[in-house]
Amino acid sequence: MDEEGWFSVTPEEIAIRHAGRCTGHEVVIDAFSGVGGNAIQFARKGCHVIAIDIDPAKVALAMNNAKVYGVEEYIDFIVGDFFALAPSLKGDIVFLSPPWGGPSYKDVQTFTLELLKPVDGYTLFKVAQAITPNIIMFLPRNINLEQVAELCRLSSPPLELEVELNHVQNYLKGVTLYFGSTVAAPPRFSIRM
Ligand code: ADP
């Protein structure tokens, strides 16, 4: 783990919940894999993971972490820009834990999709949707849910959505959005047109 990794990595119990939505034997693309916290849990569930990060140092740490967990053979590590790679990627689920812009997400009352880096959330979602409608997004706890609902409405056909609030020791750490087949049945919250 590097210094940034400590606040960027998804807490393990949340990564385990995310991985619970894959059925195993599926290919999961982890678009911003960082030090590998999510990729490792998807691999532990029996998925094949394509773990992408633009920073070679992060990928080296992720490879080491995957070895510690004994799952390195289930993960293909790629150093690269997700947006450049996306048109050539195939997968059953895309997992997106994009840069929130560091801890400053806490300074705004409502975190809008425009604040995501390096591109806004609408563009990011469109890029992921070109791969598959089965998308899991992990976002700040103050994310604007009206904009999220708009993401579903703008999709053709409109996508089903489940919103999960992720608490760690009674602290709301983030919000997970499940789209497409990653929605649990029966859905807790769905939008239909
Ligand atoms: P946070 O703001 O949540 O701390 P970071 O800035 O640490 O997020 O970014 C999360 C991860 O995404 C980092 O490991 C970073 O290297 C990676 N990353 C950023 N841009 C891209 C990109 N275009 N393609 C792939 N990985 C990226």
Residue 168 Cα to ligand 1 middle (Å)? 22
**Residue 176 predicted with pLDDT over 90:** yes
Give the model's pLDDT for residue 153: 87
Residue 192 Cα to ligand 1 middle (Å)? 32
**Residue 155 predicted with pLDDT over 70:** yes
Residue 21 Cα to ligand 1 middle (Å)? 23
**Mean pLDDT, the chain, whole residue set:** 91
Sheet strands side by side (includes 93-96): 75-79, 48-53, 27-30, 93-96, 135-139, 171-179, 161-168
**Residue 24 predicted with pLDDT over 60:** yes
Q: Please list every protein residue whose CB sits less than 6 Å from any atom of ligand 1.
A: 4, 8, 32, 34, 52-55, 58, 81-83, 99-102, 118
Give the model's pLDDT for residue 127: 97
Atom 8 of ligand 1, residue of closest alpha carbon: 99
Give the model's pLDDT for residue 139: 96
**Residue 141 predicted with pLDDT over 70:** yes
Entry pTM: 0.91
**Residue 29 predicted with pLDDT over 90:** yes
Q: Average the pLDDT over each of 43-47, 86-90, 118-122, 186-190 and give the range with the smallest value.
A: 186-190
Range of the domain at 103: 3-192
Give the model's pLDDT for residue 193: 64
Residue 22 Cα to ligand 1 middle (Å)? 23
Amino acid at 147: Q
Atom 22 of ligand 1, residue of closest alpha carbon: 81
Give the domain CATH number at 94: 3.40.50.150
Residue 7: pLDDT band with limits 50, 70, 90: low
pLDDT in tens, 98-132: 998 877 778 889 999 999 988 999 999 999 999 99
Give the nearest ligand 1 atom to 85 CA. 24
Please choose, from the candidates 51, 19, 15, 4, the residue with its C-alpha nearest in 3D space to the C-alpha of residue 32.
Answer: 51
Give the nearest ligand 1 atom to 35 CA. 14
Tally of domains within the chain: 1
Give the model's pLDDT for residue 100: 87
Residue 77 Cα to ligand 1 middle (Å)? 15
Q: Are strands 135-139 and 93-96 parallel, antiparallel or unpaired?
A: parallel
**Residues 82, 51: contact at Cβ < 8 Å?**
no
Phi, psi of 42 (to 5 degrees): -65, -40
What's the rounded mean pLDDT across residues 9-28?
91
